[in-house]
Amino acid sequence: MKLYVDPQHDRTTRIQRKSLRGRIIGVAVVGCASICGFGLVHAQSNELGTYQGTIKVSGTEIDPEVSYSASIEISLPVTYRDDGSISAEFFSGEAPDATVSITQWDEAHTEKSKGTDGKFASYKCKLAAPREIPMTPTGILNVDLEQNTHMLSLTLLGTVEVDFNCVHSTAGAYKDKKGVMLYVGTGAPGMQFEHPLPVTDAARLTANYTLVLDPDETNSGPIVQEWDLRLTQ
């Protein structure tokens, strides 16, 4: 059976995807500027070691309203290392895909203007079921051995779409597929130096940190994060 989707909902989806692409491009440009400063690197090589571990993240977005929770299993190959620092920097596709377990992804939106029926159209979507998917990481992890701090900026983009069960205020129930993106870090994308976190042992980076971003610039609420990353050879 073909489901009717309100034109306003379709317009909202297009705007959302355009905004998502814009944010991803912005992160990639910032990442390029940072990486190119160190010269050409090959993130797939693990001769210098690899930070491996788990990142737990939950948070909200503002428009559309989104609440999400996920657990990330990730490997970040070290690309630069000396007596003063350890860095893992990579473009999309240069580090192995992360394995991400998405346990919550709720989305809702209400139009700002009335439709032809004189009502404000709205929709709500929920994750059809918890889902484990591969996600491609882009970003940087830097450990300052002299200052005993570390900084992280990591964008993850799902390589497959996720199933959702949705309800539209006029069209009723329908099913949808959506791409998902996650961000974790010690600052806004490309601004990881804003809130460096302490390091007790460079061989094991741990943190419980809530990142508060400017909602007008990022469309994001607080991002609650916990990570445990171990350096292996």
The DSSP annotation for 161-202 comes to -EEEEEEETTTEEEEEEE--EEEEESSSTT-GGGS-EE-SBT
pLDDT computed for residue 25 by the predictor: 40
Strand partners, 4: none
pLDDT computed for residue 114 by the predictor: 83
Question: Which stretch of DSSP H or E encloses residue 74?
Answer: strand 65-77
Query: Are 33 and 91 within 8 A, CB to CB?
Result: no
28 vs 55: which has the higher pLDDT:
55
11 vs 94: which has the higher pLDDT:
94
Tell the residue number behind the tokens 């309203």, with chain if given.
Answer: 65
- Position 222 confidence tier, pLDDT thresholds 50, 70, 90: very high
- How would DSSP label each residue in 51-63? EEEEEEEEEEETT
Radius of gyration over alpha carbons of the chain, in Å? 19
pLDDT computed for residue 216 by the predictor: 87
- Position 93 confidence tier, pLDDT thresholds 50, 70, 90: confident
Residue 86 has pLDDT above 80, yes or no: yes
Query: Are 189 and 30 within 8 A, CB to CB?
Result: yes
Arithmetic mean of pLDDT over the chain: 84
pLDDT computed for residue 83 by the predictor: 95
Could you give the percent of the chain with pLDDT greater than 70? Answer: 81
Residue 4 has pLDDT above 50, yes or no: no
Between 105-109, 118-122, 225-229, the lowest mean confidence (pLDDT) is in: 118-122
Rounded to 5 degrees, φ, ψ at 193 are -75, -5
Residue 31 has pLDDT above 50, yes or no: no
- Closest among 74, 79, 92 to 40, alpha carbons compared: 79
pLDDT computed for residue 233 by the predictor: 81
Alpha-carbon span 160 to 158, nearest angstrom? 5
Between 21-35, 93-107, 136-150, the lowest mean confidence (pLDDT) is in: 21-35
Find the mean pLDDT for residues 176-203. Answer: 95
Find the mean pLDDT for residues 135-139. Answer: 97
pLDDT computed for residue 14 by the predictor: 37
